[in-house]
Structure 1
Amino acid sequence: MKACPNCGEEVIGREGKKFCSTYCKSNFHYERRKEKQSSLFKKIDKQLKLNRRILKNYNRAGKATVREEVLNSHGFNPNNFTHYWKSKKGEVYLFCYEYGFLSFTDAKGTRKYILITWQQHMEN
């Protein structure tokens, strides 16, 4: 007695038959392809969502300053962002959806991020 690798039911039929039905065969291969497909798009999308969650968590007041290592310890990756905005001062803020960040080094040499939330006036 041979068991179907998809559902575990008994396989009846010719010698060498692996699946109990065409549905099980199709479903088995579909699920395997789905597991293997960790496409670049999915990886970037996952990182963008993680970045957004981290920025949202540390920027509850609309503007905040956080040390770089704090965000990085949670998996933040500044190389993944959705868009940017250039301020009147010429500073370029990178955004993960509606949460933005600007990297800078303070007077003591500590790398930090200024965190902001997208505002209506930034659309111009």
Structure 2
Amino acid sequence: MRFHKECLNCKKLLVGRTDKKFCDPQCKSAYQYQIAKEQPERFYDKVGNQLKLNRKILKEYNKGGKVTVRAEVLNEIGFNPSFFTHYWKNKKGDVYLFVYEYGFLKKVEHGSDKFILIKWQDYMKK
């Protein structure tokens, strides 16, 4: 007894096993991709995507090893300082937040928010 007489993706007539749902692997893949797209984004996917975006932004703006950038510039392109992987505290007590190997410290200079961007160095190991 055949339950699915046509491919769930392309609607072509199925030939072969009675429990067959797709005509080929490409249709199965396309169908599963479409179903996954319709699902709400999972929490871990949101976190991972934001970390990737933060790293990309920090890498792009930190070409010199240590750079100061206005916070509004980074925030406008999607940077979210609430997402980071680890932190490092320097001898002065400043806590740099890191997204993998790129770090940032939020400072207020002359009334405007800025980020000091750095790259992880060997001396920062504990």
- TM-score, length of structure 2 as denominator length: 0.79
> Which residue number in structure 2 is paired with residue 119 of structure 1?
121
Unaligned runs of 5+ residues in structure 1 are 13-19
User: Alpha-carbon deviation of 1:72?
Assistant: 0.4
Structure 1 segments of 4 or more deviating over 4 A?
none
Query: Could you tell me the percent identity over the aligned residues?
Result: 49
Unaligned runs of 5+ residues in structure 2 are none
User: Alpha-carbon deviation of 1:34?
Assistant: 2.4
User: Alpha-carbon deviation of 1:38?
Assistant: 1.7
SS in 1 for 2:82: coil
User: Alpha-carbon deviation of 1:32?
Assistant: 4.9
RMSD of aligned residue pairs (Cα, Å): 2.6
Out of 68, 72, 76, the residue aligned to residue 69 of structure 1 is 72
Note if 1:46 corresponds to 2:44: no
> Which residue number in structure 2 is paired with residue 91 of structure 1?
94
CA shift digits 1:55-97 (9 cap, x unpaired): 0010001000000000001100000000000011000000000
SS in 1 for 2:22: helix
